[in-house]
Chains A and B, each alone.
Chain A
């Protein structure tokens, strides 16, 4: 079955299109990441909400200017100071709050306090220098501050070092959360919304559309009325209303309001397309031949009509998948979509203020990930149409 699919004309045509194969691999990568997050829990929801360092830290490849380095150091000094003040080193050492970066166990309370005091003093000296952020003269002092931070919070090693790197590679947001982990977790959220919506909308819409066109009569009138009604309402407005309706109910913090909203609106597209195709197919002679054999109408619909609309279902599914992801991002941006956990929409919404002050890590990460996915899907759906539409030779 699978082997035969790969030998089929459509599959061969698809494989010959390099851009399409690249797009397919990109999408497979996204789906793999989503699957890993979903099934293995390599990134948990808590990890995307926990603080990993100072606010607005740039990614590891960003310019490491003195100002940012001192901000970061000050954050760690405060953590150490608090621990010393409370005499509670275990929490900080156990890495509960900051994952791989833990307070050293080799120094006692007094030694920690002494190093924190020295570090803070150095930081104050640097901060009073006019234009310290651009000045090279303060660099020795900044280096010393960093050395103290490393002495207090030694760099992790092995797997920990890798995870630490991954966590910090794209910097932190306003609450000091890992942008990279939030963005990756958002892949899972987006794929989840996309897959559920596309599957439901295409299966339901196609079947309803095909049945309407094939049986005609009052069924057709009812379906046309229904989808005309749905498509005459601006879809974002309808989505907002639906999502508002779920406010303060037990499913408010889940993705269910989104599924309901998308499910109610997105089936219209495939329904309309498949209905049109069915109107065409049902007049073809092989349908009459099936009638002449004596098959029931329902059998002909399922066995002879719907399989011949499969290429449109594929294309519609890939279009709806990105449609749903874009919808999720827009709704989340407006604060109506994902309410617990990260989403590209929430990330972009948060970065409104950051962009003004020149911090592009968060909005850049979210938009690039979304852009690549949407682009790959558009290329893929074009290629699918070229390869599997029976009319294309």
Chain B
């Protein structure tokens, strides 16, 4: 396998914008827009795990769902192996639907309660013909084994499983089509800590064995740090910093990334440090103010920050980008 740091880009996202119109009034006009994703640009390289981190409502799930076109982008470009996904119709999307799958956050609402595991998996396999008809049953048994469930799970209904087991079924469904790229939308945040580790290890094993590329969305920087190769830090629809996970603590320069790192608990009760708590709240995503969205809470805020959004610029280290006026090269 090629080294993720130098591998070619599998998915290129350029200036992606996703706005949700808010309708109201007697004529059902668009009264305002939620700016969920506000012009983000990044690459996902083949074979890497790219983390996306940010607090609730920062647009990270919307980003994940938009890049695989579960949501229609408002503007911008998405290229998969050079093909412009944002221009494709339903029929032309089909081969890419097979290649790109998603694992959801809530294992309770992500499985159709009326289908057995076997039916759930077979449905998609048949639809794409990814496995010959005669081999489907064997393939399903193999899949179930692969995600660490017992063989007899195939003919059970979702309500017969625990949360962790359901998440494994969700992973099996995503893998059933033999995808190349998986969006993992907070796959462990609804699970107990002990189960979280199991699911993360399972994902790592599967990634190695099946040569997957993963976009891993989480609000937990600790999980991202251990699991991912690179990380995108999002704040209110913008990427504020992009850096390698190996040097997260040393290289992080954006004040928001630093605040996130500082908020991680330390597993030593004697090591007490002064905690820098961010003041204020995230601005409303309805028609946000111009300038840097973080300006209202930033300890390094300057006048310029309130008027002009800083661009995402490269730093000295390769693959390190940051959007901040206050951080000097």
Contact = CB atoms under 8 A, between A and B. Distances in A.
B119 to A, nearest CB: 10
A343 to B, nearest CB: 40
Contacts of B177: 293
B98 A294 contact: yes
Contacts of B111: 286
B203 to A, nearest CB: 17
A293 B97 contact: yes
Contacts of A51: none
A284 interface: yes
Interface residues of A, number: 19
Interface string A277-295: 0000000111011111111
Given A284-B109, A286-B111, A289-B110, A296 B90 contact: yes
Contact of B128 (A284, A286, A294, A303): A294
B91 to A, nearest CB: 10
A174 to B, nearest CB: 55
Interface string A118-145: 0000000000000000000000000000
A289 B166 CA distance: 14
B93 to A, nearest CB: 7
A234 interface: no
B104 A288 contact: yes
Given A285-B104, A285-B106, A292 B112 contact: no
A290 B90 CA distance: 14
A286 B93 contact: no
A390 interface: yes
Contacts of B174: 289
A263 to B, nearest CB: 29
A308 B102 contact: no
Contacts of A284: 109-110
Contacts of A9: 159
Nearest to B112: A286
Interface in B173-224: 173-174, 177
A293 B104 contact: no
B114 A308 contact: yes
Given A285-B104, A292-B100, A294-B128, A308 B113 contact: yes
A9 B93 CA distance: 39
A292 B114 contact: no
B124 A308 contact: no
A307 B114 contact: yes
A293 B177 CA distance: 8
Interface string A205-249: 000000000000000000000000000000000000000000000
A326 interface: no
B65 interface: yes
Contacts of A294: 93-94, 97-98, 127-128
Contacts of B127: 293-295
B70 interface: yes
B109 A286 contact: yes
Contacts of A68: none
A304 interface: yes
Contacts of A285: 104-106, 109-110
Given A285-B104, A285-B106, A296-B90, A291 B70 contact: yes
A108 B6 CA distance: 121
B70 A293 contact: no
A313 to B, nearest CB: 13
Nearest to B114: A307
Nearest to A286: B112
Contact of B104 (A289, A307, A390): A289
B68 interface: yes
Nearest to A391: B113
Contact of B70 (A292, A295, A390): A292
Contacts of B90: 296
Interface string B244-277: 0000000000000000000000000000000000
Contacts of A303: 123
A289 B94 contact: no
B101 interface: yes
Nearest to A305: B112
Q: Which of B65, B93, B109, B111 has the most CB of A within 10 A?
A: B109
A292 B109 contact: no
Contacts of A307: 114
Nearest to A293: B124
Nearest to A221: B28
Interface in A302-337: 303-304, 307-308, 310
A286 B110 contact: yes
Contacts of A291: 70
Contacts of A289: 102, 104, 110, 170, 173-174
Interface in B74-132: 90, 93-94, 97-98, 100-102, 104-106, 109-114, 123-124, 127-128
B70 A288 contact: yes
Nearest to B28: A221
Nearest to B94: A294
A292 B113 contact: no
Q: Which of A9, A292, A293, A390 has the most CB of B within 10 A?
A: A292
Interface of B: 65, 68, 70, 90, 93-94, 97-98, 100-102, 104-106, 109-114, 123-124, 127-128, 159, 170, 173-174, 177
15 contacts: A284-B110, A285-B104, A285-B109, A286-B111, A288-B102, A289-B104, A289-B170, A289-B173, A292-B97, A293-B124, A293-B128, A296-B90, A308-B113, A308-B114, A390-B159
Given A289-B102, A289-B170, A292-B100, 16 more contacts: A285-B105, A285-B106, A285-B110, A289-B110, A289-B174, A292-B70, A292-B97, A293-B97, A293-B123, A293-B124, A293-B128, A294-B97, A296-B90, A303-B123, A304-B112, A307-B114
